[in-house]
Structure 1
């Protein structure tokens, strides 16, 4: 059975985006980008893979990515129907409709049902790219949490998880400090 991993950048105060949805507070150090390219190459979008020298590097951890529409929209605004053509992509939206790209599937139904079906398939893991609302809906299905904690506090924005009060315990399995003050924290359920 495949695992669902929520792999995401966060501020020290637990936000994954600014109030307007932007990611300007996350300015990765070039050395940290090299770490990401080596350890999680498939999580870098297509327009970054060439400049980082990983355009042809095979996926290490994931072959599928799931995301909400707010996470998908910035790629569309940049002219990309698929930011991750090297992955099977599922975008959860009740309003998006069809996307003219074979690597992108729009799902209007229940994300939990879809993820449960994806977990039954053979292959690499499933990456939950974002956002906080989708993470809140999928919280019971998340097997691993990898948070790239950035050394910045923004005060408000999109929280790491958006859901009702439901404490869930995690076990820290790795903590790796990176250049620029980022700490990569890995947790298992």
Structure 2
């Protein structure tokens, strides 16, 4: 059985984006970027890897599960397969048209449970917050890139879904001069 990791950027007040989905307040320059690019290469979109001269080896993740709102920004700029190096699964409650290398699911929790039973490396739960809240029972690890900004309003890191409390234990904490903190957690008892 493989693990699912919710790897996401967040503000100090627990928002993954502004109310309109904009995340441009998060710093994309600074000493934290070497860790993101070096360790989390699998999470970089294909066009970003190409621009940086990188190639993901899928050693950390070979599958990405994302919500429709997370997938849409790529579509808006003409990219219908943002993570061509990964198996891409997009959750949507509506029937939509996606390319052949992108899978659509109306049951993200059930699909994540199935994916975890398959062989492979990890599964990256990319967001958004509503999706993460809906699949919280199957998330084994949290990797939060905590940015030194307060958004005040926006999309909560685990959406507005109601769920029972879950215990996670901190496994690693890294602070950077940029003010970004990468905090890693694993499900307690797991």
TM over 0.5: yes
TM-score, scaled to structure 2: 0.93
Structure 1 residue 21, shift from structure 2 partner: 0.7
2:101 aligns with 103
Give the aligned length.
Answer: 186
2:144 aligns with 147
Contact preservation (8 Å) 2:133, 2:163: no
Structure 1 residue 25, shift from structure 2 partner: 1.1
Contact preservation (8 Å) 1:69, 1:96: no
Structure 1 residue 98, shift from structure 2 partner: 2.4
TM-score, scaled to structure 1: 0.94
CA deviations 1:77-111 (Å, max 9, x no partner) are 011001100000000112252212x3211112x21
RMSD of aligned Cα (Å): 1.3
Q: Tell me: CA distance 1:179–1:80, structure 2 relative to 1, closer, same or farther (3 Å).
A: farther
Contact preservation (8 Å) 1:28, 1:180: no
Structure 2 residue runs without a partner (length 5+)? none
Contact preservation (8 Å) 1:66, 1:130: yes
2:179 aligns with one of 177, 181, 186 = 181
1:168 aligns with 166
Q: Which runs of 4+ in 1 moved over 6 A?
A: none
Structure 1 residue 114, shift from structure 2 partner: 0.4
SS across alignment from 2:51: coil
Structure 1 residue 23, shift from structure 2 partner: 1.0
Structure 1 residue runs without a partner (length 5+)? none
CA deviations 1:15-47 (Å, max 9, x no partner) are 001000111111222432222121010101112
Contact preservation (8 Å) 1:37, 1:52: no
